[in-house]
C-alpha cells in the first residue's frame, strides 16, 4: 500500500463515524412526515444519500484515493444542505427531534470538514 493510499484510507476511517451520523440524520428526515411537503428540505436527505453513496463503488474496489476524492467533491453540497436545514428547520417543526437533528448535522459536517480538509469549520 502506497503512502497516498494509506493516508486516504486513514482519513476515510476517521470520517466513517461522521458519515454514519449523517446517514442517520438522512434516514430521520427522509421518513419525517412533516418534511414531506417541503421540497427544499427534502434536498437534505437526498444530498446526504448522494454524497455517501457516491464513494461506495470506489470503497468496494479498495480505491481509497478515488473514494476520498469523491467525498471531498460532494462535500460542498453537504455544507449547503446543512446551512439550509439549520436556517429552515423551524419552519417545518421546532420539535426536539428537529432541534437535535440540526445540532447533530452541524456537528457532523464541521467534524467531517476538519477530517477531510484539516480546517476548523
Mean pLDDT value across residues 54-74: 97
User: Mean pLDDT, the chain, as a whole number?
Assistant: 95
| pLDDT, tens digit (0-9, with 9 covering 90-100), for 11-54 | 999 999 999 999 999 999 999 999 999 999 999 999 999 999 99
CB 117 within 8 A of CB 111: no
**What's the predicted TM-score (pTM) here?**
0.93
DSSP secondary structure letters along 41-91: HHHHHHHHHHHHHHTHHHHHTT-HHHHHHHHHHHHHHHHHHHHHHHHHHHH
The residue extents of the domains of the chain are 3-117
Question: So what's the pLDDT on residue 1?
Answer: 75
3-117: in CATH 1.20.1440: yes
Amino acid at each position: 500500500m502506497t503512502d497516498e493510499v494509506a493516508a486516504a484510507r486513514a482519513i476515510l476511517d476517521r470520517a466513517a463515524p461522521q458519515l454514519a451520523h449523517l446517514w442517520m440524520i438522512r434516514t430521520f428526515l427522509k421518513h419525517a412526515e412533516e418534511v414531506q411537503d417541503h421540497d427544499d428540505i427534502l434536498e437534505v436527505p437526498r444530498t446526504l444519500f448522494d454524497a455517501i453513496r457516491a464513494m461506495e463503488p470506489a470503497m468496494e474496489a479498495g480505491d481509497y484515493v478515488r473514494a476520498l476524492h469523491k467525498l471531498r467533491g460532494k462535500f460542498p453540497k453537504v455544507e449547503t444542505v446543512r446551512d439550509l436545514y439549520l436556517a429552515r428547520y423551524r419552519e417545518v417543526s421546532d420539535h426536539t427531534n428537529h432541534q437535535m437533528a440540526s445540532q447533530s448535522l452541524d456537528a457532523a459536517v464541521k467534524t467531517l470538514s476538519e477530517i477531510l480538509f484539516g480546517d476548523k469549520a
